[in-house]
Chain A
């Protein structure tokens, strides 16, 4: 039963390099502590070659030219650890979270699926590298041997069963320091390793060769266990973890961002990382949440502003935007474009010092286009197009219509346009809407008509008459009306100069009212009128608001 171990050397450095991959070509040191007592916590290989070691003061390090100094970021370390877990989970469901930089995997049953063990190890290393983490991968017959090999050997190591002691022999005993798998008190293990050093035991081969009973007499069970580890004979069960499906990435900025372009650059990187993690779990997202921490942001003093709220910490404002998509997507470029367009429309208003991006995971869209179905816009393209159009005309002016179950004028609302819903025969137009032809209809019948229209059941009869459409004037124009025997005989609308003159023909009134039991009651009389307009005759709908007694020109029949 093979086990694999993924170990990320210099984890704090790798976590920062994951956010800033361009620093891989430079010497880099990670600092911890508060100024001016900052010390080097970790360095990369180039910095080590330049003579920088852990524990050096910041002042000493700064003498080295062309070195990148970064503060230790727990936020990015946790994000890197989550990414590492995603990588491991994409290969095996049984993963043990040994440490923040170390994961153990059970590879049992993977060979028929993914190929021989060395190939699986290479795939694991490549997958971790794709997520921005350069790691060591070792495969052995037991987890502890794999862990020691991953910590001791760089790159990919495959230890055959029965050859554990031989291959681990060359490793120094220090690889067992801080070994969580030892299961013992770290202080005891450190003392024992110090004792071993004083005895002259430098590597695991020497430790494995010590007589077991004499070792037990001098170092107790901890010493015996360490010897078993060195021999590669410890066998134990994995303790699998079930990591929650949380996909979040964050970055703390050293300098506040003022422009959209560098912000888009960072957002693009975070989105790529998120998409890689989601892809590793075979998931997509339908909701992106962007949280920006602003520096000295101006306080929007409106209580109606849900976008920004005051953080308990002083002088910071949290700015949030949520991007909801009609279909699950997994394209970082699309997300970036949508976020860019959204931020252009809703700018945060202050310099940004911290970016936090989270994705809500959902199953990817399983769509199979039919051969005989008409083509429809690609969801990614459509979303970007809609976002651009919203930037031009406004958010509330783009979308699809939804009729409301009311007789109130303008009884509709706009909703998000999502044409990619699966086709269902029930939705296909089947009911026939009978038009009222002059005679009064009872209220219940009209209500049934309207509710059937609200449900999307429309006239599908090709031989049906063409419907006389009304063009609504928004907002309706105030009109002065001269009545003769209670019937409009002359109208004058300042807003629509064409609608001025004698009424050639008038029909009505069509009286309607509603919601009288509510605060927002309404009552109106509708008239259909014909007015001479140049050489032609135009038909209008004239409305009298019974509550205010005013006349309005509501629309034009066309």
Chain B
């Protein structure tokens, strides 16, 4: 040791100079006697990060490929459209809910198909579905004017026939314009737009009133739709993860273009990863491209299988009527890009699986 070691047990004491082997031993003794340093574990005795508990994803091929989904970690599934991402997400949700775990799905694009979820085996009583996007209830008065409770559609944005309210027990959807027959949808849309105009004008007039403070008891005059659905999803996920007790929290970013999704700051993923760490929660994120980077303990990339024939290859001949053909199954291929369980990148570890189409009605 060429340099001189200087040690001070407290700022008030004079530093002590040591040199030589004897003094070095004395220094180590002094250091070990210091109460603050006594609890410090030497680097040589540090253990490796404990292996996370793995739970089945509900798909045998994926379990064989990745070992399942890690608890207390962030797992990511990415892939383009029609690559089987949603099928795998629903399978994971179904498996978790059948284990009687409470699950949550943050649906950024409001794209969940209830029939597909039911066919996959999801227990709806255990699944919290959060649909992000513009609220259909920006103001209390609009509540009774909306069309339908299940298929809430904004009639001003689509010409699709609005589905009337089907749930008789839905107390939050009092009958207003919902009893109009199909032939009067145009009239209904007109009434909706008229009501929206009235509400808008009233909001403007209310703003001139007395109580407009942020903490005031007056109605909030700000536009509710100002918040981006992505922001909503991040806030909701944060709340869910910090609430605790969920077995699986899934974020569906499948329809969010990569351009928008990559704007999610990396700190958000770190925050989520820290929130689920040491908890039994699996955080499953579904995207088009890898986003969470090193925060993801498991990264699975999906795509259409090239080895097996896709469903559309059975192109009907001209003689065969088109209704004789139906979409039967999709063949998808999963590639493990990252797994915390393995020291080295998984590389070309792949699995091929297929999905089966359902049709009801």
Interface residue ranges, A against B (CB under 8 Å): 257-261, 263, 298, 300, 302, 304-307, 343-344, 346-352, 373-378, 381-382, 384-386, 388-389, 392-404, 406-414, 417-419, 421, 423, 427-429, 433, 435-438, 446, 449-450, 453, 456, 458-460, 462-463, 465-478, 486-487, 498, 504-510, 512, 519-522, 528, 530, 533-534, 536-539, 545, 547-548, 550, 552, 555-558
Contact = CB atoms under 8 A, between A and B. Distances in A.
Nearest to A450: B360
Given A410-B163, A473-B111, A400 B137 contact: no
Interface string B135-157: 11100110011101111111001
A510 B236 CA distance: 38
B197 interface: no
Contact of B326 (A429, A520, A528): A528
B113 A471 contact: yes
B329 to A, nearest CB: 7
A397 B131 contact: yes
A516 to B, nearest CB: 10
Nearest to A304: B144
A419 B166 contact: no
Contact of B217 (A263, A486, A557): A263
Contacts of B353: 466
Contacts of B117: 401, 469
28 contacts: A260-B217, A261-B215, A343-B217, A347-B220, A392-B232, A396-B146, A398-B130, A402-B167, A413-B166, A423-B100, A433-B119, A438-B325, A458-B118, A463-B60, A466-B354, A467-B355, A468-B330, A472-B111, A475-B153, A498-B81, A505-B311, A507-B316, A510-B361, A519-B182, A536-B80, A552-B160, A558-B83, A558-B87
A548 B211 CA distance: 48
A417 B243 CA distance: 15
Interface string B115-141: 111111111111111111101110011
A192 B20 CA distance: 107
A350 B219 CA distance: 9
A556 B211 CA distance: 47
B150 A474 contact: no
A446 B361 contact: yes
Contacts of B58: 462
Given A385-B240, A475-B153, A504-B312, A458 B122 contact: yes
Shortest beta-carbon contacts, A-B, top 10: A394-B135, A410-B151, A377-B245, A475-B158, A413-B167, A505-B312, A465-B356, A519-B181, A458-B121, A469-B86
A400 B128 contact: yes
A305 B140 contact: yes
A508 B322 contact: yes
Contact of B322 (A384, A436, A506): A506
Nearest to A528: B327
Interface stretch (B4-12, B32-40, B170-178): B170-178
Given A382-B245, A393-B236, A460-B121, A469 B82 contact: no
B322 A556 contact: no
Given A258-B211, A349-B218, A520-B181, A508 B236 contact: no
B282 to A, nearest CB: 12
Contacts, number: 396
A397 B326 CA distance: 33
Contact of B325 (A462, A507, A537): A507
B244 interface: yes
A520 B184 CA distance: 10
B180 to A, nearest CB: 8
A533 B83 CA distance: 12
A536 B150 contact: no
Given A347-B218, A505-B315, A558-B86, A522 B161 contact: yes
Contacts of B157: 475
A393 B160 contact: no
A536 B121 contact: no
Interface of B: 58-60, 80-91, 94, 98-102, 109-133, 135-137, 140-141, 144-146, 148-154, 157-161, 163-164, 166-167, 169-170, 172-174, 176, 179, 181-182, 206, 209, 211, 213, 215-220, 224, 227, 232, 235-236, 239-240, 243-247, 254-255, 280, 303-304, 310-312, 315-316, 322-330, 353-361
A506 B320 CA distance: 12
B145 A545 contact: no
Given A404-B166, A547-B161, A537 B312 contact: yes
Given A302-B141, A376-B102, A469-B113, A350 B356 contact: no
Contacts of B109: 471
A213 B129 CA distance: 85
B159 A550 contact: yes
A420 B312 CA distance: 44
Given A259-B213, A548-B161, A557-B82, A467 B91 contact: yes
Contacts of A419: 102, 125-126, 128
Contact of B87 (A396, A469, A478, A487): A469
A117 B247 CA distance: 52
Contacts of B120: 458-459, 466-467, 469
Contacts of B151: 409-410, 412, 474
A533 B217 CA distance: 51
A386 B239 CA distance: 9
Given A304-B144, A460-B121, A469-B89, 18 more contacts: A259-B216, A347-B218, A381-B244, A382-B243, A385-B243, A393-B133, A404-B166, A433-B358, A449-B360, A468-B330, A475-B157, A478-B158, A510-B361, A528-B326, A536-B81, A536-B82, A557-B82, A558-B81
B102 A507 contact: no
A558 B109 CA distance: 14
Nearest to A257: B217
Nearest to B126: A419
A185 to B, nearest CB: 52
Contact of A385 (B133, B167, B239, B324): B239
Contacts of A450: 360-361
Contact of B243 (A381, A435, A505, A512): A381
Contacts of B354: 465-466
Contacts of A306: 174
A435 B116 CA distance: 11
A199 to B, nearest CB: 63
